[in-house]
C-alpha cells in the first residue's frame, strides 16, 4: 500500500480558539438538490484567472463575494448553498477573458461534491457537481502535541473531519479536559484521489486512541440493514447513554464544589455544576435522550433548560443566549438544544452544566453512566471478520510526514 507521508508539526493553538472556530463553523449538512445548469454548447472563451479565498473567522458569504468582486446576482443564485461555510473552506472564483463578471464560483466543502454557481448567458445557477475520485485504504498515526485540532488538520483533515474524529471517542474522553499531550491516534481511513491527482482524507474506518495510559479501539461497522455504528474490538457498542460533555470543545473554568465565593454575589455558596467557557452562540447538545422538563427564564440561571433522562438522571443547562427546544419535547442524544450565552447572573459567556441523580447534584465530570445495546449475535461473524482484517493495519499505523511521499 502506498502511504502519503504527512508531517505532524507543533503550532500552539489553544482550545479557546478552537471553540471560537466551532462556534463560527456549523457542521456541513447535505445540500438540497439544486437546479442543473443548461449546457453551454458554444466553445467558451479561455479562462483568464482564478481567485481564491480561504474562509476565515467572521467571514460571511456576502462579505467574501463582495471582496472578490462577484456580483450580487451570484449570491442570490447561491440560495442556501453558502450558508454553512467552515473556516478553512476554499472559495474559487473563475474569470474569463473579456468578461466584466465572473463566470463561475466553486466551493469544495464536501469531499464528494463541488458546490458550483455558473453563469449561462446573463443568469447564474447553482448546482452540486459530483467529484470523481479513487478510494484507497491507508493507515496513519497522529500524535497530539498541542491540540487535537492542530494535529488532525496538519495531516489533511478538514474541520468537519476533526469533529468526526473527536465524536468517535466522545464517550471515552472529554476533549475539553482529558486529552493529554502525547495522545496518539492510529487510524485506518480512506484516501481519495481525484482526476488531478489531488489527495484528500475520506472516511475513518477504524481508530485506536492511546491517551494517558488508556487505550480505546473503535471499528466502524455497517450492519445488514445498513446502519453504521462504532464498536469496540469485542463487539460491544461504543455509544453510551450519556455524552461526556454537552459542548464539543470548551474548557472548564469552574468545577463542581460544595462551597466557593460567588463571582457576583461575593458570598460563599456551593457550585452545583461545572462552568464550561465557550463563545456566545456555541451549540449545546443534550448529553442523552430524554424529555425537556424546563425551557425558559429561570432567574439567576438566565435562559435555562432541564432534560429528564431514563434511570433517574436529569441534566441542566444555564445562561443560554437562545433556547432551541420546548417544554415536554423529546430530545435525542447529541441534539442541539440551545446556544451558549451569558444571561442571568453570569460574568461572561459560558455554560453552567448540572448533572443530577435522583434529584441530587453530582459532579458531571465524574459520572460513570450505562452503556447502550451491543452488536446483535447475527452480526458478530461479519464484524469479527472485519475486525481481524483491520486491527493489524491499525496496530501498524505510523506517523507520516507530508514532505516525503514514499512510493511502494
Ligand atoms: Zn456555574
CA distance 250 to 276: 6
Q: Which residues contact 369 (CB under 8 A, 6 or more apart)?
A: 240, 241, 242, 288, 313
Sign, Cα dihedral of 296, 301, 302, 306: negative
> For residue 105, what are the β-bridge partners?
93, 117
Q: Which helix (H) or strand (E) holds 75?
A: helix 72-78
Cα(161) to ligand 1 centroid in Å equals 31
Q: In this structure, are 41 and 108 located in the same domain?
A: yes
pTM of the model as a whole? 0.55
Nine-digit cell string for 147: 491540540
- Residue 23 in any domain: the answer is no
Residues 365 and 355: their CA atoms lie apart, in Å, by: 9
Q: What is the dihedral of CA 198, 200, 206, 210, to 10 degrees?
A: 110
d(CA 304, ligand 1 centre) in Å:
12
CA 367 – ligand 1 centroid, Å: 18
Give distance in angstroms: CA of 40 to centre of ligand 1: 60
Say yes or no: 115 and 169 in one domain: no
Distance of CA 148 to the CA centre of its chain: 12
User: Given this model, what pLDDT does residue 265 score?
Assistant: 59
State the distance from the centre of ligand 1 to the C-alpha of 207, rounded, in angstroms: 35
Kindly tell me the burial class for residue 149, based on how many C-beta atoms sit within 10 Å of its own C-beta (0-12, 13-18, 19 or more).
buried
Q: Ligand 1 centroid to 172 CA: how many Å?
A: 24
Q: How far is the CA of 318 from the centre of ligand 1 (A)?
A: 8
Calculate how far, in angstroms, residue 188's C-alpha sits from the geometric centre of ligand 1: 40
Report the separation in Å between the CA atom of 317 and the middle of ligand 1, taken as the mean of its atom positions: 10
What domain count does the chain have?
Answer: 3
**CA-based torsion, 130, 133, 139, 141: positive or negative:** negative
CA of 254 to the centre of ligand 1 (A): 7
Q: Which string of DSSP letters, residue by residue, matches 221-272?
A: EE-TTS-EEEE-TTS-B--BSS-S-SSSS-EEEE--EEEEE-TTT-SEEEE-
With a CB cutoff of 8 Å and minimum separation 6, the contacts of 257 are 270, 271
**Residue 218: inside a domain:** yes
User: Does residue 283 share a domain with residue 390?
Assistant: no
Task: Kindly state whether residues 126 and 138 are assigned to the same domain.
Answer: no
The tens-digit pLDDT sequence of the chain (408 residues) is 333 333 222 222 222 233 333 333 333 333 333 333 333 345 556 777 888 888 888 888 899 999 998 999 999 998 888 887 877 788 999 988 878 889 999 997 776 778 999 998 889 999 988 878 888 999 999 998 888 888 888 878 877 788 888 888 988 888 877 888 899 999 999 988 887 787 888 889 999 999 999 999 999 998 887 778 889 999 888 777 788 889 887 666 777 776 555 666 566 567 889 999 899 999 999 999 899 999 999 999 999 999 999 888 999 999 999 999 999 999 998 899 999 999 999 989 999 999 998 888 988 877 766 556 678 889 999 999 999 999 999 998 988 654 444 333
Residue 196 belongs to some domain of the structure: yes
Cα–Cα distance, 362 to 126 (Å, whole number): 51
Q: For residue 183, what is the domain's CATH number?
A: 3.10.450.350
My answer on whether 60 and 126 are in the same domain is yes
**Sign of torsion, CA 158 160 164 167?**
positive
For residue 256, the CA-to-ligand 1 centroid distance in Å is 8
> Domain residues for 56?
34-130
Kindly give the distance from the C-alpha atom of residue 199 to the centroid of ligand 1, in angstroms, as a whole number.
45
Residue 17 lies in a domain: no
Q: Could you say which of 130, 160, 176 is where a domain stops?
A: 130
Q: Residue 268 maps to which CATH number?
A: 2.70.70.10
Distance (Å) of CA 161 to CA 189, 222, 264, 394: 11, 19, 40, 18
What's the CA gap between 370 and 289, in Å, rounded? 13
Q: Looking up cell 489553544, which residue turns up?
A: 14
Cα–ligand 1 centroid distance for 271 (angstroms):
6
- Same structural domain for residues 232 and 325? no
* 392 and 354 share one domain: no
C-alpha cell at 100: 466584466
Residue 348 Cα to ligand 1 midpoint, Å, equals: 11
Residues with CB under 5 A from ligand 1 (ion): 275, 352
The Cα angle at residue 14 between residues 29 and 202, in degrees rounded to 5: 35
In a domain, 188, yes or no: yes
| Residues 307, 353 within the same domain | yes
User: 372 C-alpha to center of ligand 1: Å?
Assistant: 30
**Together in a domain, 137 and 233:** yes
* Pair (234, 322) in one structural domain: no
CA 216 to chain centre: 20
Domain boundary among 130, 159, 177: 130
Residue 39 domain-assigned? yes
d(CA 103, CA 97): 10
Evaluate whether residue 18 is within a structural domain: no
> Which three cell numbers mark 221?
461497522
- Asked if residue 392 and residue 359 are part of one domain, the reply reads no
Distance from Cα 12 to the centre of ligand 1, integer Å: 28
Ligand 1 midpoint to CA 353 (Å): 7
- The whole-number pLDDT of residue 250 equals 63
Distance in Å, CA 180 to ligand 1 centroid: 25
If asked whether residues 386 and 311 sit together in one domain, one would say: no
Q: Give 303 Cα–ligand 1 centroid separation in angstroms.
A: 13
Calculate ∠ Cα 23-25-27, nearest 5°. 110
**Rounded Cα–Cα distance for residues 14 and 37 (Å):** 44
**Residue 353's closest CA among 285, 262, 399?**
285
In sequence order, what are the residues at sequence separation of 6 or more whose Cβ sits closer than 8 angstroms to the Cβ of residue 167?
A: 248
Residue 372 forms part of a structural domain: no
User: pLDDT tens, 19-64?
Assistant: 333 333 333 333 333 333 333 345 556 777 888 888 888 888 899 9
Amino acid at each position: 500500500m502506498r502511504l502519503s507521508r504527512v508531517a505532524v508539526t507543533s503550532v500552539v493553538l489553544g482550545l479557546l480558539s478552537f471553540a471560537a472556530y466551532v462556534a463560527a463553523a456549523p457542521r456541513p449538512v447535505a445540500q438540497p438538490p439544486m437546479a442543473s445548469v443548461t449546457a453551454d454548447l458554444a466553445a467558451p472563451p479561455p479562462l483568464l484567472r482564478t481567485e481564491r479565498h480561504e474562509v476565515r473567522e467572521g467571514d460571511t458569504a456576502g462579505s467574501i463575494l463582495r471582496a472578490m468582486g462577484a456580483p450580487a446576482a451570484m449570491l442570490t443564485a447561491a440560495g442556501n448553498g453558502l450558508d454553512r461555510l467552515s473556516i478553512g473552506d476554499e472559495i474559487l472564483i473563475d474569470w474569463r477573458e473579456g468578461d466584466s463578471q465572473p463566470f463561475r464560483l466553486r466551493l469544495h466543502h464536501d469531499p464528494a461534491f463541488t458546490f458550483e454557481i455558473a453563469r449561462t448567458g446573463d443568469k447564474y445557477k447553482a448546482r452540486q457537481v459530483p467529484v470523481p475520485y479513487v478510494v484507497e485504504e491507508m493507515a496513519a498515526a497522529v500524535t497530539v502535541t498541542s491540540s487535537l485540532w492542530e494535529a488532525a488538520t496538519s495531516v489533511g483533515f478538514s474541520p468537519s473531519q476533526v469533529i468526526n474524529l473527536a465524536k468517535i471517542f466522545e464517550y471515552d474522553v472529554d476533549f475539553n479536559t482529558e486529552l493529554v499531550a502525547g495522545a496518539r491516534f492510529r487510524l485506518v481511513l480512506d484516501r481519495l484521489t481525484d482526476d488531478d491527482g489531488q489527495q484528500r482524507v475520506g472516511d475513518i474506518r477504524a481508530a485506536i486512541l492511546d491517551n494517558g495510559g488508556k487505550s480505546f479501539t473503535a471499528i466502524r461497522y455497517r450492519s445488514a440493514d445498513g446502519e453504521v455504528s462504532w464498536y469496540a474490538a469485542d463487539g460491544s457498542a461504543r455509544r453510551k447513554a450519556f455524552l461526556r460533555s454537552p459542548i464539543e470543545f470548551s474548557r472548564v473554568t469552574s468545577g463542581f464544589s460544595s462551597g466557593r465565593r460567588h463571582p457576583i454575589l461575593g458570598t460563599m455558596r456551593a457550585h452545583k455544576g461545572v462552568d464550561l467557557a465557550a463563545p456566545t452562540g456555541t451549540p449545546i447538545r443534550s448529553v442523552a435522550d430524554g424529555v425537556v422538563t424546563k425551557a425558559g427564564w429561570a432567574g439567576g440561571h438566565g435562559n435555562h433548560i432541564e432534560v429528564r433522562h431514563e434511570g433517574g438522571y436529569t441534566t441542566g443547562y444555564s445562561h443560554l443566549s437562545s433556547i432551541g427546544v420546548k417544554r415536554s419535547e423529546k430530545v435525542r442524544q447529541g441534539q442541539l438544544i440551545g446556544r451558549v450565552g451569558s444571561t442571568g447572573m453570569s460574568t461572561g459567556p459560558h455554560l453552567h452544566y448540572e448533572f443530577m441523580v435522583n434529584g441530587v447534584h453530582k459532579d458531571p465530570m465524574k459520572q460513570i453512566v450505562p452503556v447502550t445495546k451491543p452488536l446483535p449475535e447475527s452480526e458478530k461473524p461479519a464484524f469479527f471478520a472485519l475486525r481481524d482484517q483491520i486491527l493489524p493495519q491499525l496496530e501498524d499505523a505510523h506517523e507520516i510526514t507530508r514532505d516525503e511521499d514514499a512510493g511502494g
